[in-house]
Structure 1
């Protein structure tokens, strides 16, 4: 049996539009199910050539699939009258090359029409995926099979917490360009990093980042991180960028020193000046308490109290982790964020930051009314002082809600990434006796304790070459963001170094975790933690000129703090905390890794390390 579909021609475009009703009017014999094939005729009776049947953007293929794949008895409860103006039935076996199926028994031919509600969308989706794959400019690039058809594969790996390892395996298997979803390629090409992450800002962020925004009074409010409009981002960042400069960060050093002293006091009280069987503990957890309390001190002149209480007493740290987990999963299909978290009816997203928001609002009110005089010293300014000054300087563009937004970015974005760097520097150094020995020797040779400089001044610690190398290597091996950072190719397209052309609108992803292991930049053994790669190899005869050339190459490929106009605004603050606390701990204590240490990395937007279990004792 052949089903002949009538079509009408658009006189302007010359394309043929199928008459969908013709599919629903084909009477099917009661004695069995035919195996239908298609041929298409013009409404005038002439045969339409196959070349005219590929109608991009039309529903022709979908309708054809319904006729071919969906038995007639699923469409109608009974045979309707034949509409000869739409359909002709032909029992022409010579033209079909097919035989009628043998009679079937026991088949119910009168079925409910409701399955069509599922079958048509399913067929439409499958055929759309097929069309997208056939005509995709990314079709040539290798990648996982399911990644070619759906983002669900990508969402799944983000959910597992091992996405950075999976991405590394894919690049090892397929090379520098991997297609990870139907519309995204992940690239490991250091030469294009300065272009993709440039200060021009013409490579726009994708909707991936919108998941970190907030819903306030049924309005989606973007922050410095989730804002994808470069002009709006520049407008929001410009008033406060100067507050994060190296000199401005140095003015906050007294706040950082007070928290470092508090950390040492609590570690000694809880884990050092105690019986031997109670000395083993998770130093990584206390590093997180330290970075969050530093954030409270530099932002409000008052730590949040995690060191004092010794646990996540208000649930903010847990909420931050869950928010990151939600962000990376929902980012694979950004439209789901509006469905789950940003809908005005019922929210099923991650835990909210009501506690952090409440703290920000209360501290702002206290500053206005002078209720924080007990702990706030105007001679040692904090970020809240600076944000209020920005409002006073430009009241038309800076409001109290804008100040709250800036405070929230400080609270949520800065603490975790700094803790990641410190934990990595400690764990990887402790795991390598040679590195740990040299790091201890170089720090203790400065005699900070004997000189009464504990915590040591940042500028002195930063001047120790090997300390700088250890921190930079920790950032390289496990950057604060290990996920693929997505950008749109700008209008006009882009040509890759290999000559491949990518049209505008293509999504390119670049993962710092992957590019930081590129051997053409970081040398053979880029997977290993080796701080010496940031130093001149004098023993090997490397000249200063060669070293500077190599260092420049590594710096250009370094995405540990992002790049270009969207680089991390709190970079200097994070480095201050990292260098100072690392030097302080090594100056005052002997630290050894516990045999029970079970280092584990969960890759969320910020990778979370677990298992930095140590034993510490005070140096004599």
Structure 2
């Protein structure tokens, strides 16, 4: 089709003039500035306005800028409080909010089973978006991108990788490494006794830092039979923990515009950022190589760990598990196994000591169940038998989930109609945020902003049938560990650390806030982290 006009640029002496000539010879003189402005305007019209007007999502409410660009979401994600912002948006616009040109955040807990494929028919239909790709790494030597179990969005490959090791993360398998967790719980208590209990005259301590040291050392010990050394040193001695924070901040930033990852982290010419996990990768490779040379007597003396299990999987599944896959498995443990776990423990401690008598009640309930200081470290089985501790942990995961960004899936072939009657075409990115779902009043009641462990327990006068129905409804709305085939593989390992750590500390220590009126700082990165758990700690006599 011929253009309706052609552009004529004048000579050097008239460089400021541009003439548009129509096909019938009519001339339209324009200044260069006016022409540039018109060009920019037409470009913006073509890239933003027209797609918006043609979009089938245009009837979905949301912030004005979010309709046109993902920069809106990127900005609010980098502020570290996206969970609060998205909750406000849902309060303003309702259960369906457009947060990007092709992204919709929904607050329909009943759709978790659909979006996350908890039924066999739906497992492969709603596929992960590129939101997850950033948590992979590019190998400098080969240029290959190394995906892990979290970042692999291909459902067939994920299932293939997961199958050889899934059994090692069951509750029964976690019991095989519980002794490794006990060793680190003991280490935590010894370091708190030695380093901290005598320092209360200096204004207390940030228990949150020590909880982070604890969860990272647990992961090192259950994976390699060697704690990483943070409890022993009492500090981030190798910079790995600060690197992890910065890297998770980058992951959160890049989820809004995933292709930017190929400009920064996956750049083949010159990598710009974020800080790399080379230390963790090197640590994993070193342990794998050392294990190949280990004598059988050494293995018997140290007991089984996850690296042993991964090597066993290599023997059982040689067509899937090679040396590179073993590194993938160890990295999944190291990178994803500590920060979310420490976040939940910190939340439980913070809210327990913010309300007078709650920490003491936890201790009393433990002792009423026959668990005393002589049983420390408390076994996972014993800790799970205490209803109040169960309620405390579940409520901690509800009030502040370890992940508080929207978990995304693509609408499958055929599209999908929401309960609001909005139609989502195939390829629309649907996000469900665990923080938003945990504030749904239809599920949790009008007191959703209140920390209330008792909501997970059977109330006085409530029939067992009513309680079980209510509990099932709450369980179905819980997205703390994800759902469906992509549910967090390390869920039982994380829960073992949480229950054992909390129960043991409650029995051994009196804990109270340094300043009851002071709020801590919550940073919503790729994982939630908190700062300022300043407490006074004394050993029980």
| 2:508 is aligned with 1:588 | yes
What is the Cα deviation at residue 23 of structure 1?
3.0
Per the alignment, residue 291 of structure 1 pairs with 215
Per the alignment, residue 59 of structure 2 pairs with 140
Instruction: Identify if the C-alpha distance between structure 1 residues 304 and 254 changes in structure 2 by more than 3 Å, giving closer, same or farther.
Output: same
- 1:368-411 CA deviation, whole Å, 9 max, x = no partner? 0118977x546621000000011111222211011001100100
Per the alignment, residue 398 of structure 1 pairs with 321
| Secondary structure at 2:446 match in 1 | coil
| 2:520 is aligned with 1:536 | no
| 2:449 is aligned with 1:512 | no
Q: Which runs of 4+ in 1 moved over 3 A?
A: 72-76, 109-113, 118-122, 371-374, 376-379, 446-450
**114, 137, 155: which one pairs with 1:195?**
114
Give the TM-score normalised by structure 1.
0.82
Considering only aligned residues, what root-mean-square deviation do their CA atoms show, in Å?
2.5
Higher relative contact order (CA 8 A, sep 6+): 2
**302, 325, 328: which one pairs with 2:252?**
328
| Secondary structure at 2:145 match in 1 | strand
**240, 248, 271: which one pairs with 2:165?**
240
What is the Cα deviation at residue 521 of structure 1?
0.5
Per the alignment, residue 224 of structure 1 pairs with 149
Per the alignment, residue 300 of structure 1 pairs with 224
Instruction: Identify if the C-alpha distance between structure 1 residues 573 and 90 changes in structure 2 by more than 3 Å, giving closer, same or farther.
Output: closer
Instruction: Identify if the C-alpha distance between structure 1 residues 121 and 256 changes in structure 2 by more than 3 Å, giving closer, same or farther.
Output: same
Give the TM-score normalised by structure 2.
0.93
What is the alpha-carbon distance in structure 1 between the residues aligned to residue 79 and residue 44 of structure 2?
A: 27
| Secondary structure at 1:87 match in 2 | coil
Q: Contact (CA 8 Å) 2:410, 2:429: kept in 1 or not?
A: yes
Instruction: Identify if the C-alpha distance between structure 1 residues 577 and 438 changes in structure 2 by more than 3 Å, giving closer, same or farther.
Output: same
| Secondary structure at 1:239 match in 2 | coil
Q: Contact (CA 8 Å) 1:24, 1:75: kept in 2 or not?
A: no
**372, 376, 382: which one pairs with 1:460?**
382
Q: Contact (CA 8 Å) 2:217, 2:230: kept in 1 or not?
A: yes
Instruction: Identify if the C-alpha distance between structure 1 residues 496 and 75 changes in structure 2 by more than 3 Å, giving closer, same or farther.
Output: farther
The structure having more radius of gyration, on CA atoms, is 1
Instruction: Identify if the C-alpha distance between structure 1 residues 348 and 437 changes in structure 2 by more than 3 Å, giving closer, same or farther.
Output: same
- 1:155-192 CA deviation, whole Å, 9 max, x = no partner? 00111101111101111111111111111111011111
Q: Which moved further from structure 2: 329-338 or 377-386? A: 377-386
What is the alpha-carbon distance in structure 1 between the residues aligned to residue 479 and residue 59 of structure 2?
A: 27
Per the alignment, residue 42 of structure 1 pairs with none
What is the Cα deviation at residue 288 of structure 1?
0.2
**1:414-425 to 2 correspondences below 5 Å:** 414-425=337-348
| Secondary structure at 2:89 match in 1 | helix
What is the alpha-carbon distance in structure 2 between the residues aligned to residue 405 and residue 434 of structure 1?
A: 44
Per the alignment, residue 338 of structure 1 pairs with 262
Instruction: Identify if the C-alpha distance between structure 1 residues 74 and 528 changes in structure 2 by more than 3 Å, giving closer, same or farther.
Output: farther
- 1:181-224 CA deviation, whole Å, 9 max, x = no partner? 11111101111111101141321111111111111121222111
5+ unaligned residues in a row in structure 2: which ranges? Answer: none
Number of residue-to-residue matches in the alignment: 533
**Structure number with higher helix proportion:** 2
| 2:8 is aligned with 1:88 | no
| Secondary structure at 1:418 match in 2 | helix
What is the Cα deviation at residue 497 of structure 1?
1.8
**331, 335, 349: which one pairs with 1:408?**
331
Per the alignment, residue 24 of structure 1 pairs with 7
| Secondary structure at 1:24 match in 2 | strand
Instruction: Identify if the C-alpha distance between structure 1 residues 335 and 371 changes in structure 2 by more than 3 Å, giving closer, same or farther.
Output: farther
